[in-house]
Amino acid sequence: MIHPFMTNPDSGHLLFAMNGSINGNLQNAILEVAEHGLCNLPCSTRLRKRAFHILVECLQNVMLHGEKLSEQKYSQGQVMITALSDGILIRTGNEVSEAQSSAIRKKLQRLEGCAQDTLRSTYKKQLVEGKLSEEGGAGLGFVDIARKSGNDINYRFYPLGQNRYFFSLIVKVASNGRYSD
């Protein structure tokens, strides 16, 4: 399914969009295409690097939390990257269970409105105290995304029925972020 949020892009230059199964190999291809698109933008290297970094974390979130297709290491997900006049917008979407939605919501709510120094100390605390999950998650992804974007993370859970939700994550990497670009 293509969720409506993916079919109504913001005004701006669409760099990349896809809807489907994502695995490790496809992730490489997505990153390669996205990086090529980012390199052609008339923006600072710093903004491009931050956008790429955030894209990596967002994609890996989809792969960690997205609905797994039976017995395959594929996750169903959607990705969209748009260049705006004042930054780069990264959207990802994937289906999650009710338990996952509660856990993700809790993590994201903790980060809302946090100042940069708070995000940095939260990151360091989690880096020291956290443990890697079997799938390689460090519990640092959303903190890092918030740190690097310089903006609050926008998210929504659209009910799909049968205790399933479509998790939409929207991150704007602003060209006037926390450092003077």
Partner 1 sequence: MEDIQIEGTPKTPSVKFIASEGSLEIKGRSIPENSIEFYKPLMDWIEQYSASPQKETVVNIQLEYFNTSSSKCILDLFKKLEVINDQIVINWYYEEDDEDMLEAGEDYDAIINIPFKMIEIEEI
Task: Assess 52 for contact with partner 1 (CB under 8 A).
Answer: yes
Among 130, 121, 133, 39, smallest CA distance to 88 is for: 39
Helix (H, G, I), strand (E, B) or coil at 11: coil
Binding mask 118-157 toward partner 1 (x if CB under 8 A, else -) reads --x--xx--xx-xxx--xxxx-xx--x---x---------
| In the complex, least distance from residue 147 CB atom to partner 1, rounded to whole angstroms | 8
At position 111, the amino acid (one-letter code) is L
- E-only strand ranges, 105-163: 154-161
Q: Whose Cβ is closer to partner 1: residue 152's or residue 181's?
A: 181
Query: Total residues contacting partner 1 (rule CB under 8 A)?
Result: 34
Task: Assess 3 for contact with partner 1 (CB under 8 A).
Answer: no
Residues 6+ apart with CB under 8 A from 96: 65, 66, 67, 104, 157, 164, 165, 166, 167
Cβ atoms 36, 46 nearer than 8 A: no
| In the complex, least distance from residue 7 CB atom to partner 1, rounded to whole angstroms | 28
Among 73, 56, 65, smallest CA distance to 21 is for: 73
Task: Assess 50 for contact with partner 1 (CB under 8 A).
Answer: yes
Distance CA 38, CA 139 (A): 27
Taking CB under 8 A as the criterion, which residues in 9-38 touch partner 1?
24, 27-28, 31-32
Task: Assess 95 for contact with partner 1 (CB under 8 A).
Answer: no
Q: Whose Cβ is closer to partner 1: residue 123's or residue 158's?
A: 123
Interface with partner 1 (CB under 8 A): 24, 27-28, 31-32, 44-46, 49-50, 52-53, 56-57, 60, 63-64, 120, 123-124, 127-128, 130-132, 135-138, 140-141, 144, 148, 179
